[in-house]
Structures are given as structure tokens and as C-alpha cells.
Amino acid sequence: MKPVFREAPGAILIEPRKVIHMATARQQLLQKLAVKTDSKIVLIVMDGVGGIHTMNSPKTALEIAKTPNLDALATRSALGRANPADVGITPGSGPGHLALFGYDPIVPAHEIGRGVLEACGINFRLNENMVATRGNFCTLGADKKITDRRAGRIPSEEGARICAKLQAAIKEIDGVKIHVLPVKEYRFCTIFEAPGLAPEVLDTDPQKVGLETLPAKAFTDSAAAKKTADIANKFIAKAFETIADEPKANGLVLRGFSVDPGLPSFQDLYKLNPCAIATYPLYRGVASLAGMKVLETGQTIAEEVETLKAVWNEYDFFFFHVKKTDSSGEDGNLDYKVHVIEEFDAALADILKLGPNVIAITGDHCTPYVMKGHSFHPVPLLVCGENCDVDDTKAFSESECLRGSIGTIYSEKLMGLLLANAGKLNKFGS
């Protein structure tokens, strides 16, 4: 009954399905050196903030935007660039944020599955006996083939109603507890809870209309994965019966079978008491897995700043996420990206008034508007603190960051740099 696990550097299996992280040598060193102090660190992640220069578009959004507050801050800061994952690697927001929080994003054991992210995004606390999946409702034709992969984008209330119906009908299968939790619109979570399950199970989503949903299937010989697949298939069969009469959401697929990666927390690693101010589930999810208190906040930057002000005395580390620099870049919308940067610049003045000991501004990756997507380029980085080593840069821009005194570092190293700037690291050796 022992499950087989892929060998993941940085992780060690100590009992069925429980992966215990060996902190990296760097994390162990930071853990040894970190001390608790009163100083406060604000890490602002402007998602996808960086851009690139081309012959036709020689200026980036950061270079076009009018940003008096960022410029003034840059003048008294150290600038540099952060390489999110590795040279040439274009990261998703998950690895991008893992790196910013100090976890090696390339270690397979640090991979955060879609199911886990979805569960964290709705503040559902996973335990070590749970395998989480992200569910999508879909519409099936009379021939059982998918006609709409998003069930006509049913409203969230509809999704919640159908999840409740499923939960009422299916509470347990062969001793495995079933959780069905609405997320948003056609999206939900199904969580399987019992000892001896494993996440090595393929998605049931064929990724195309005109095809039947796939059976859940273990992709290792692990008995635990096979059991999980079996339970998932029994759940799907019962669920199809239960929602057969629904006009739109009469089918479902399960994706991203995954378990809590068991990341060492900010408290354990850095002796920090951290909180997260972010609007989107993914960022809230990653922050939660890192041990941050994920705060309720509004949808605008100004509302996020209000949240920051309200909790200023309660924490010593603040992860502050700005989403729309990324989405505007993804849309190739230069004007809107410039607008979001200028909107943030106005809000920055209020953040600075709180008097953080260290403030850092960077991104989880670049999203150049000319590429309409994430890119592999180093991300602009600003660090301001008493001993940051002020350089002669005058603006927070890609070209100024290239000249900055921090140089180009890996994003994974940023947390150490912030702790050092905040006076939270003892000397290493004598």
C-alpha cells in the first residue's frame, strides 16, 4: 500500500503521501541567521510590471508613465533586476511568486498544483490527508460529449447552488470524505480526504468540445494514486447522476490533483509575522501556503492601501499585490498599463507615509505589452532602506534598473536581501 513518489530534490517522503521539505542550504542559512525585530518590510509586487525595448517600441510602459513618486523613491533607493526562475525561463505567476518569497521555484517539490491553489484561494485549509482538485462544470450533449467547456459561464450563485446539491448527495465514498466547494461561476473544488491517497492522477478534462470527459487515471503504479483515481471516478459517476437534469452544468471535469506542498513558512524561515494584500485567488493562495495571513480587501489599489493602513501595527511583513499591470500587458494595452502604473504611483505616496523601514518594488515576471504575455526577461527591482546603498539612478525603469547597485539577482535571493536591509539577519560566521 506504499505509494510511489517521484523523487523531488528538496523533499523527503516520511510516510504515505506526506512530503516534508528539506529547506535549501540558503533557506537553512537564513533560518539560522534571522532575528525578530520591530522593523517593517513592504514588498510590492506589480504583477508583470517589466517590459522590453524593441526597434519599433523603444520605450516601455514604466518609461512612458509619469511617476513622480516612484522617481523620487528611486533617487534614494538601490535599483537592480530580479530574474524570476532562471535565464530564459518564462514563469507563470505561481513560480514567480514562490521565488519572490524565497522558495526555489525550480524544485519540483515546490510545485503548487491547481487544485491546491484553488482551495487556498477560497481559504480552505488543506490537511495532510487531502487531495485537492479544481473542478469545472461543463455542458454535455445527449451523446455525453462536451458542448461547452464552461457550462455557459453560469453565474457564481448557480455554481454555488449546484455545488450544494452535489455535497448533499455525495458526502463519502468508500470511507473517503468528499468536499465540494464553490469557487466562482463554473469553477469549484473537489477535495478527497482520507489517509492513503495520492495526487498522481491525470486530469479528466479532454481540453476540447466534441469529446467525452476522460476517466481519472493514475499515472504511477502507486496503489494510493490508483485508489484516488478510483474514488474520483466513483465521485464523477454519482455527480453525473445528481446533476443530469441541470440545463447547463450537467457535467464536470476534475483537474490538477494535488496536495499541500508543505512549504516552510515565513514564520519558520524568517521569523516574520507576514500578511498578504492581494485581490486574486492565485496570489492569495501562494501567500497562504507561505504562511501569510491573507487579508480581506477591495478590488482597487486605493482599497488595498486602505487595508494596508488598517493593519499596519499588526504585522512586520506586508506582501502587496498589484494585478492590473499584468492583465494590461497580456492585452497588449500600453495605454492601460501606463494608467495602472500611474495609479499605483499616486497610491505609493500613501504607502510611504506609513514609514516602512524597507520597501521593495518589483514584479513576479515581465509582461511586455509588445509580447502580450509573460516573458523571460529580468524584472525591474527597487529596494529602499537605510543601508540599501543608494546609487545614482533617478527613475524606476528597465534602463535605470540595469545600472543599479543591486545588479541582477535571482528573485529567490530577494527575501534575504530584504531581511538584511531590515537589520533582521545576524552576521554569518566570525
The residue range among 180-188, 195-203, 304-312, 369-377 that interacts with its own copies, by the rule CB under 8 A, is: 369-377
Residue 35 binding its own copies, by CB under 8 A: no
Residue type, 254: L
The secondary structure element, H or E, covering residue 100 is helix 93-100
Where in 66-105 is the site for its own copies (CB under 8 A)?
A: 76, 81, 85-95, 105
Q: Is 394 in the site for its own copies (CB under 8 A)?
A: no
Please tell me whether residue 201 adopts helix, strand or coil conformation: strand
- Between 134 and 227, name the residue whose CB sits nearer to its own copies: 134
State how far the alpha carbon of 398 is from the alpha carbons of 212, 266, 373, in Å: 48, 29, 17
User: Which is nearer to its own copies, 345 or 398 (by Cβ)?
Assistant: 398
Report the site for its own copies in 258-287 (rule: CB under 8 A). 282
Binding to its own copies by residue 389, rule CB under 8 A?
yes
E strand intervals along 141-175: 146-148, 172-173
Bridge partners of residue 252, in order along the sequence: 137
Check residue 418 for interaction with its own copies (CB under 8 A).
Answer: yes
Q: Does 386 bind its own copies (CB under 8 A)?
A: yes
In this chain, which of 268, 306, 331, 391 binds its own copies, going by CB under 8 A?
391
**Contact between 374 and its own copies (CB under 8 A)?**
yes
C-alpha to C-alpha distance for 122 and 160, rounded to whole angstroms: 13
Short-list 146, 143, 163, 142, CA closest to 243: 163
Q: Could you say which of 2, 9, 157, 215 contacts its own copies (CB under 8 A)? A: 9
Of the pair 172, 389, the CB lying nearest its own copies is at 389
Quick check: 370 binds its own copies (CB under 8 A)? yes
Binding of residue 135 to its own copies (CB under 8 A): no
Strand 201-202 and strand 217-218: pairing? Answer: antiparallel
Which residue lies nearer to its own copies by CB, 184 or 339?
Answer: 184
Site size toward its own copies, by CB under 8 A: 71
How far is the C-alpha of 316 from the C-alpha of 283, rounded, in Å?
Answer: 19
Out of 71, 111, 330, 350, point to the residue binding its own copies (CB under 8 A): 111
How many Å is the maximal CA-CA distance in the chain? 74
Q: Which is nearer to its own copies, 355 or 428 (CB)?
A: 428
CB of 422 to its own copies, least distance (A): 10
* Long-range CB contacts for residues 370-373, cutoff 8 Å, separation at least 24: 370/51, 370/52, 370/54, 370/56, 370/57, 370/332, 371/52, 371/329, 372/329, 372/330, 372/331, 372/332, 373/90, 373/329, 373/330
Host H or E run for residue 293: strand 293-294
3-state secondary structure of 84: coil
Nearest distance in Å: CB 333, its own copies? 18
Question: For its own copies, which residue of 18, 53, 145, 150 counts as binding (CB under 8 A)?
Answer: 53
Instruction: Convert residues 164-203 into a mask of x (bound to its own copies by CB under 8 A) and - (unbound).
Output: ----------------------------------------
